[in-house]
C-alpha cells in the first residue's frame, strides 16, 4: 500500500487515517519483524561489550551526566567542573552487569596546597558507599558498585555531598573539582537496559513507518532500518553514553516529525488547490510523497540535533533571558526599550555610532507562552524554532510552484516544487542559523518567506479584498518581527513595484495592490510599535550616525579596507559557512533564468533543449518583450544579495544579508539543477547528483561540527 490520495479531488485530510492504516499494515509486514528481531539481538550483544565508559568532565559531551555541577571550565589543556554542596554523576542505560564493577573518579579538593583533605559523601543509586577523602592534588578515587544496586533500567547514579568554600570574588559555593570519570565494566554477562532496548526498537519501527510512507518497498525500508539499529548497536558497544541519554528524545523527535508531516502536507494540499492546482492541474502524488519525506527529514535532523543533550546553541542564553523577562511581565520600557536595543550593538564594533535603533521584542512576545509549558525554555524554544524550520519546507514547495516558470504541466511543476524544497533543505547555512539561535532573526525571515509564498501563490487574486487583507497582515507581522527585516522587505517591495511597473506592465493593477499593501503594513507597524521612536530616530540616531561616518569613515569601526572586507569578511563567511556551492548554484540559476537564449526555446515547458549555464554554457540572447511577473519577483528578491552585501561595507548587518535571499537562491538553483539533469549527457546528470550529494554532506557535517565542537 502506498500513502497517497488515489482520487484527484479527495479530501486532503483523508490522508491522516491512511497514515493509521499504513501503521496497522506494516505490523503484518515480514520485513519489519525480520529487522526488529536481529536488531534486538545485536543491541543485546552490544551490551556485552566490556569497554570502559569514559566521560571527560568539562569536555564536550559531559552535559547530561553532571547535574548539580557548575558550568564546564578550562585551565590550559585541563577541562573540569566544580561541584556544589550536592551534585551527581548520572549514567543512563549503561546496563546491569552481573558482577561487581568500579567507577574511577579523577578529583581534587581544589583547596590551597597542603590543606587538609575534605570528606565527600557518596551514595550509589541510593545505597551508601564509603566516603571519599579528597586531597588538594588531583588523584584517582575508586568506588566499587554492587550489581544488586542496579535495576532493569541499567541506570547508574552517584550522588555527592561535599563541604564547600568560597574562592576570592567568586560567589559560588565550591565543593570539589572533577576532571574525568571512567566506569570499568566487568567481563562476563550483562543484562541490557530494558528501557533503552524499548526506545531504540520503537525508533526503528517509527523509521520503518516513515520510510514506507515515502513509498520505499518493505525490503528497502527494512535495509535502512536494520542499518539504523546496527549503527545504534555499534555506539552501545563502543561508547553507549553518547546514545543512551538521547533515546527518549530521539523517539519523541521521530514521532513529532511524523505528526508535522501529517499536518503540513494536507494543509499544503488544501492551499495549493485553493490557488488553482487541482483537477487536471493536480500535482503528481510522488511530489507529495517527496514533500512528506523532506518535512520529516528536516524535522528529524534539525529538531533531533537541537534536542541532543550535549548540543551547544550560541545565543540561546541571551534570548532565553528576555523570553523569561517577557513571561514574567517585567517593565516594558526598562527591559524592552532602549536598553535592549543598545545591548545588541557592541560598543567595540559601533564606536561613536552607537545610537538607538529600535530592537523589536516581537519574538519575545510570541515565545513568552512557551515559559508556561512544563518544559524548560532551553528545550521548548529550540523545539519551537525547529518546528518553524520544518514548516519552511512546504513554504519553499509552494514558492517553487508559484514562482516557477509559466507553461509547465502539473508533472513539471511538481518536479520544480519538490526540487526547490529539496535544495533549500540541504543548504548548510540553514543549519547554521539554528545553531546560532538568533531566533528573532530566523523568525522574521520565516515570516518574510511566508509572505512571499502566500502573495505569489495567490497572485491572480492579489487585488481582491480577502487575499489583499491576508497578505497585508502577513507583511505587517514580518515588519514588526525584526527591524532589519522590515528594512529589507521595504527595499524588496520598492524594487519589485518599480521593476514590475516597467517590465511587466500588464500586471500594473497587482503591483499597485502590493504597493498599497506595503503602505498599509508600514502604517500598521508604525502605529503598533515603531511609531513611538520616530522622534528619537530623527533627533538623535540620524545625527549620531552622520557624525560617526564623518569621524570613523564608516558606520561601524570594523573592516577598514576593501581588501579586508572581501577576504576577511565575505571570503571567510563563504568558506566557513559552506556558502560557496549554494551561491554558485544560485548564480548559475540566475543566468539560466534571465539570460537563457530565446532561440533555444524549442519545446515549451520542457527542461531539455534549453542550455544550462555553467559547465554547459551556450550563447545567450536577450529575450525581447514582456517579462513574466514571476521573474520580477525572483529578480527583486535575488537583487537583495548584491545590494545588501555592498551596504554591508558601511553598515554591519551581522551577515543577515547572506540569509535573506536563500529561498530565492534555492528556487533558481533548483531550476538550474533540473535543466542540468534534463540535459542528455550522462556527465551533466552525474554532476547534478554530485552537487546534491555534496550539499547534503556539507549540511550534515556542518551541523555535527557546529553543535558539538564549536564555540565551547
Residues 389-408 that bind Ca ion (CB under 5 A): none
Min CB(237)–Ca ion separation in Å: 24
* Interface characters, 344-383, with Ca ion (x: CB under 5 A): ----------------------------------------
Q: Which CB atom, from 57 or from 422, has the smaller least distance to Ca ion?
A: 57
Question: With CB under 5 A as the contact rule, which of the stretches 31-39, 55-63, 220-228, 628-636 interacts with Ca ion?
Answer: 55-63
- Are 107 and 204 in contact, with CB atoms under 8 Å apart? no
In terms of DSSP bridges, do strands 177-184 and 118-124 run parallel, antiparallel, or are they unpaired?
Answer: unpaired
Residue among 18, 46, 58, 211 that touches Ca ion (CB under 5 A): 58
- Are 618 and 684 in contact, with CB atoms under 8 Å apart? no
| Residue 56 makes contact with Ca ion by CB under 5 A | yes
Min CB(242)–Ca ion separation in Å: 16
Compute the distance between CA of residue 237 and CA of residue 46 in angstroms, rounded to an integer. Answer: 5
Question: With CB under 5 A as the contact rule, which of the stretches 51-59, 318-326, 516-524, 688-696 interacts with Ca ion?
Answer: 51-59
Min CB(177)–Ca ion separation in Å: 9
What are 510's three cell numbers?
Answer: 497587482
Min CB(80)–Ca ion separation in Å: 5
512-516: Cβ within 8 A, 24+ apart: 512/463, 513/462, 513/463, 513/468, 514/455, 514/462, 516/468
Binders of Ca ion: how many residues, by CB under 5 A? 6
Q: Which CB atom, from 177 or from 232, has the smaller least distance to Ca ion?
A: 177
Q: Which CB atom, from 137 or from 561, has the smaller least distance to Ca ion?
A: 137
| Residue 62 makes contact with Ca ion by CB under 5 A | no
Strand-pair partners of 159 = 88, 123
Q: Which CB atom, from 158 or from 497, has the smaller least distance to Ca ion?
A: 158
Q: Which CB atom, from 60 or from 541, has the smaller least distance to Ca ion?
A: 60
Name the strands in the sheet holding 86-91, side by side, starting at the edge strand that comes first in the sequence.
86-91, 156-161, 118-124, 127-134
Compute the distance between CA of residue 141 and CA of residue 17 in angstroms, rounded to an integer. Answer: 58
CB contact set of 263 (below 8 Å; sequence gap of 6+): none
Min CB(62)–Ca ion separation in Å: 8
Min CB(74)–Ca ion separation in Å: 9
Residue nearest to Ca ion (CB): 79
- Are 621 and 598 in contact, with CB atoms under 8 Å apart? yes
- Are 433 and 442 in contact, with CB atoms under 8 Å apart? yes
* Interface characters, 481-520, with Ca ion (x: CB under 5 A): ----------------------------------------
Q: Which CB atom, from 60 or from 552, has the smaller least distance to Ca ion?
A: 60
Residues 64-83 that bind Ca ion (CB under 5 A): 79
Min CB(711)–Ca ion separation in Å: 18
| E runs forming strands in 227-369 | none
Compute the distance between CA of residue 363 and CA of residue 381 in angstroms, rounded to an integer. Answer: 11
Closest to 644 (Cα-Cα) out of 666, 669, 662 = 662
- DSSP per-residue string spanning 180-227: EEEEEPPSS-EEPPHHHHHHHHHHHHHHHHHHHHTT--HHHHHHHHHH
Min CB(57)–Ca ion separation in Å: 5
- Convert 531-562 to b/e letters by CB count within 10 Å (16 or more is b): eebeeeeeeebeebbeebeeeeebbbbebeee
Phi-psi region of 90 (alpha: psi -120 to 50; beta: other; left: phi over 0): beta
Compute the distance between CA of residue 426 and CA of residue 191 in angstroms, rounded to an integer. Answer: 41
Q: Which CB atom, from 105 or from 300, has the smaller least distance to Ca ion?
A: 105
Min CB(180)–Ca ion separation in Å: 5
What are 96's three cell numbers?
Answer: 546491569
Min CB(18)–Ca ion separation in Å: 52
Dihedral over alpha carbons 367, 368, 371, 377 (to 10 degrees): 40
Dihedral over alpha carbons 365, 366, 369, 375 (to 10 degrees): -120
* Interface characters, 151-190, with Ca ion (x: CB under 5 A): ----------------------------xx----------
Q: Which CB atom, from 76 or from 112, has the smaller least distance to Ca ion?
A: 76
Min CB(117)–Ca ion separation in Å: 21
Question: With CB under 5 A as the contact rule, which of the stretches 44-52, 56-64, 524-532, 676-684 interacts with Ca ion?
Answer: 56-64
What are the start-end ranges of the H helices in 328-409? Answer: 332-336, 338-343, 347-350, 362-367, 377-403
Compute the distance between CA of residue 391 and CA of residue 261 in angstroms, rounded to an integer. Answer: 9
Min CB(178)–Ca ion separation in Å: 8
Question: With CB under 5 A as the contact rule, which of the stretches 58-66, 266-274, 370-378, 590-598 interacts with Ca ion?
Answer: 58-66
Looking up cell 541532543, which residue turns up?
308
* Interface characters, 211-240, with Ca ion (x: CB under 5 A): ------------------------------
- Are 303 and 386 in contact, with CB atoms under 8 Å apart? yes
Q: Which CB atom, from 608 or from 712, has the smaller least distance to Ca ion?
A: 712
Q: Which CB atom, from 179 or from 389, has the smaller least distance to Ca ion?
A: 179
Q: Which CB atom, from 54 or from 335, has the smaller least distance to Ca ion?
A: 54
Q: Which CB atom, from 179 or from 507, has the smaller least distance to Ca ion?
A: 179
| Residue 248 makes contact with Ca ion by CB under 5 A | no
Q: Which CB atom, from 77 or from 333, has the smaller least distance to Ca ion?
A: 77
Min CB(67)–Ca ion separation in Å: 17
* Interaction site with Ca ion (CB under 5 A): 56-58, 79, 179-180
Amino acid at each position: 500500500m502506498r500513502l497517497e490520495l488515489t482520487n484527484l479531488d479527495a479530501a486532503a485530510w483523508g490522508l491522516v487515517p491512511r497514515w493509521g492504516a499504513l501503521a496497522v499494515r506494516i505490523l503484518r509486514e515480514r520485513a519489519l519483524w525480520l529487522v526488529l528481531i536481529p536488531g534486538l539481538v545485536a543491541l543485546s550483544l552490544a551490551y556485552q561489550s566490556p569497554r570502559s565508559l569514559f566521560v571527560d568532565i568539562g569536555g564536550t559531551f559531559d552535559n547530561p551526566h553532571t547535574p548539580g555541577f557548575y558550568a564546564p571550565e578550562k585551565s590550559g589543556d585541563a577541562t573540569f567542573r566544580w561541584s556544589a554542596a550536592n551534585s551527581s554523576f548520572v549514567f543512563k542505560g549503561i546496563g546491569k552487569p552481573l558482577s561487581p564493577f568500579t567507577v574511577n573518579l579523577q578529583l581534587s579538593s581544589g583547596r590551597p596546597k597542603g590543606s587538609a583533605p575534605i570528606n565527600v559523601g557518596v551514595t550509589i543509586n541510593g545505597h551508601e558507599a564509603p566516603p571519599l577523602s579528597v586531597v588538594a592534588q588531583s588523584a584517582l578515587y575508586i568506588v566499587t558498585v554492587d550489581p544488586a544496586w542496579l535495576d532493569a533500567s541499567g541506570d547508574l547514579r552517584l550522588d555527592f555531598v561535599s563541604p564547600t568554600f568560597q574562592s576570592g570574588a567568586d560567589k559560588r559555593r565550591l565543593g570539589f573539582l572533577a576532571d574525568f570519570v571512567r566506569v570499568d565494566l566487568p567481563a562476563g554477562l550483562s543484562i541490557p537496559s530494558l528501557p533503552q532496548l524499548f526506545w531504540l526498537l520503537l525508533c526503528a519501527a517509527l523509521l520503518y513507518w516513515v520510510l514506507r510512507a515515502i513509498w520505499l518497498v518493505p525490503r528497502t525500508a527494512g535495509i535502512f532500518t536494520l542499518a539504523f539499529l546496527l549503527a545504534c548497536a555499534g555506539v552501545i558497544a563502543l561508547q553507549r553514553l553518547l546514545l543512551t541519554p538521547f533515546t527518549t528524545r530521539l523517539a519523541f523527535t521521530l514521532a513529532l516529525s511524523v505528526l508535522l508531516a501529517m499536518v503540513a502536507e494536507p494543509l499544503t494540499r488544501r492551499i495549493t488547490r485553493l490557488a488553482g492546482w487541482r483537477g487536471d492541474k493536480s500535482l503528481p502524488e510522488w511530489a507529495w510523497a517527496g514533500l512528506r519525506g523532506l518535512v520529516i527529514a528536516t524535522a528529524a535532523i534539525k529538531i533531533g540535533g537541537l534536542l541532543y543533550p550535549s548540543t551547544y546553541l550560541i545565543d540561546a542564553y541571551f534570548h532565553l533571558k528576555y523570553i523569561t523577562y517577557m513571561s514574567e511581565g517585567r517593565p516594558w520600557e526598562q527591559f524592552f526599550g532602549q536598553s535592549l536595543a543598545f545591548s545588541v550593538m557592541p560598543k567595540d564594533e559601533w564606536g561613536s555610532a552607537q545610537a538607538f535603533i529600535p530592537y523589536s521584542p516581537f519574538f519575545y512576545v510570541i515565545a513568552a507562552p512557551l515559559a508556561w509549558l512544563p518544559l524548560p525554555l532551553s528545550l521548548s524554544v529550540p523545539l519551537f524554532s525547529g518546528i518553524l524550520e520544518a514548516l519552511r519546507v512546504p513554504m519553499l514547495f509552494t514558492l517553487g510552484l508559484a514562482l516557477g516558470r509559466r507553461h509547465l504541466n502539473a508533472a513539471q511543476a511538481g518536479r520544480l516544487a519538490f526540487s526547490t524544497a529539496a535544495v533549500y533543505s540541504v543548504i548548510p547555512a540553514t543549519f547554521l542559523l539554528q545553531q546560532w539561535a538568533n531566533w528573532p532573526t530566523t523568525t522574521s525571515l520565516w515570516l518574510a518567506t511566508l509572505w512571499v509564498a502566500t502573495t505569489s501563490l495567490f497572485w491572480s487574486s492579489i487585488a481582491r479584498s480577502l487575499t489583499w487583507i491576508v497578505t497585508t497582515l502577513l507583511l505587517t507581522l514580518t515588519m514588526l518581527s525584526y527591524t532589519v527585516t522590515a528594512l529589507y522587505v521595504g527595499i524588496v517591495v520598492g524594487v519589485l513595484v518599480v521593476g514590475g511597473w516597467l517590465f511587466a506592465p500588464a500586471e500594473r493593477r497587482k503591483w499597485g495592490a502590493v504597493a498599497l499593501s506595503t503602505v498599509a503594513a508600514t502604517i500598521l507597524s508604525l502605529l503598533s510599535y515603531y511609531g513611538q521612536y520616530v522622534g528619537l530616530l530623527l533627533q538623535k540616531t540620524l545625527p549620531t550616525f552622520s557624525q560617526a561616518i564623518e569621524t570613523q569613515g564608516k558606520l561601524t569601526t570594523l573592516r577598514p579596507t576593501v581588501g579586508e572586507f572581501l577576504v576577511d569578511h565575505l571570503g571567510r563567511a563563504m568558506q566557513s559557512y559552506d556558502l560557496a556551492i549554494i551561491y554558485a548554484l544560485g548564480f548559475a540559476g540566475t543566468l539560466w533564468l534571465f539570460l537563457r537564449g530565446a532561440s533555444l526555446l524549442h519545446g515549451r515547458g520542457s527542461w531539455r533543449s534549453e542550455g544550462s549555464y555553467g559547465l554547459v554554457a551556450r550563447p545567450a540572447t536577450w529575450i525581447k518583450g514582456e517579462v513574466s511577473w514571476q521573474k520580477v519577483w525572483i529578480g527583486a528578491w535575488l537583487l537583495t544579495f548584491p545590494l545588501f552585501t555592498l551596504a554591508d561595507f558601511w553598515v554591519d548587518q551581522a551577515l543577515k544579508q547572506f540569509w535573506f535571499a536563500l529561498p530565492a537562491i534555492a528556487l533558481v538553483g533548483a531550476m538550474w539543477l533540473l535543466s542540468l539533469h534534463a540535459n542528455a549527457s550522462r556527465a551533466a546528470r552525474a554532476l547534478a547528483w554530485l552537487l546534491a550529494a555534496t550539499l547534503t554532506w556539507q549540511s550534515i557535517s556542518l551541523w555535527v561540527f557546529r553543535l558539538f565542537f564549536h564555540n565551547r
